[in-house]
Amino acid sequence: MNYYTIKGTSENSFIEKRSEFIGYISHVTNNEEAVDFIESIRAKHRKAKHNVYAYILRNDNISRYSDDGEPQGTAGIPVFEVLRKRNLTDVCIVVTRYFGGILLGGGGLVRAYSHCASIACDSAKIMNMCKCIRLNISVDYSLYGKISYIIPKYDIITVSSDFGDTIEIELLVSDEIKDSFHKELIDISGGNIKLKYGEELFEDFSGIIK
């Protein structure tokens, strides 16, 4: 159920035999956003020889790519393969090429577009999106030490903690461990704890998943 994507947008570039390759990568959630991103890069680089793109979307399992005038199979597919091999989704890459006057050949183009897509990915913040559920805990102060001790054992994000008459804690609990976490909470509190489950969602657990 988990998937990998990126946060926001990023870019990187390099020069190969006087041709400049600029890789742009962006988080997108639907076909319209992907097309808008591609068109924004084209508008920015109207004088560029090529604006090659590839994108993969979770919704409807959509994937598309274009060589944008490069020899067939030398540009769009290599960029697409970088996304696929890195298991990235909801992501669009556009590689802009300013031709430097020296032909790279088929193999050279494949390597150049693959490399540019790779360094664009490397420049982005990768997010590990996990299915999770929102959990609100209400507990007495006497039990807070036990609760705070076990939380780091699990794949959990602490959203907030409110110290009033009782302690109110809001957590995002990954789907895979919610049952075992629930059981341990009941066990260590002797049932003297209020648990309220809320919405299910996907959240970035980068740095949390062990």
Instruction: For 154-184, write each residue's pLDDT tens digit.
Output: 989 999 999 999 999 999 999 999 999 999 9
Residue 209 domain flag? no
Report d(CA 96, CA 45) in Å as an integer. Answer: 7
> Which of 94, 123, 152 is the endpoint of a domain?
123
Residue 210 domain flag? no
Q: What pLDDT is attached to residue 60?
A: 83
Report d(CA 69, CA 82) in Å as an integer. Answer: 20
196-206: per-residue pLDDT in tens?
A: 999 999 999 98
Say how many domains are in the chain: 2
Residue 61 domain flag? yes
Task: Classify burial at 206, counting beta carbons within 10 Å of its beta carbon; exposed 0-12, middle 13-18, buried 19 or more.
Answer: middle
| Domain region containing 77 | 3-123
Pair (23, 51) in one structural domain: yes
Residue 109 domain flag? yes
* Prediction pTM value: 0.87
Structure confidence at residue 15 as a pLDDT band (50, 70, 90):
very high
> Which of 103, 123, 143 is the endpoint of a domain?
123
Residue 97 domain flag? yes
Pair (90, 15) in one structural domain: yes
Pair (104, 152) in one structural domain: no
> What is the arrangement of strands in the sheet containing 9-16, beginning at the earlier edge strand?
9-16, 19-27, 91-98, 50-56, 63-66
Q: Would you state the structure tokens that stand for residue 208, as one six-digit string?
A: 């949390």
- Mean model confidence pLDDT for the chain: 95
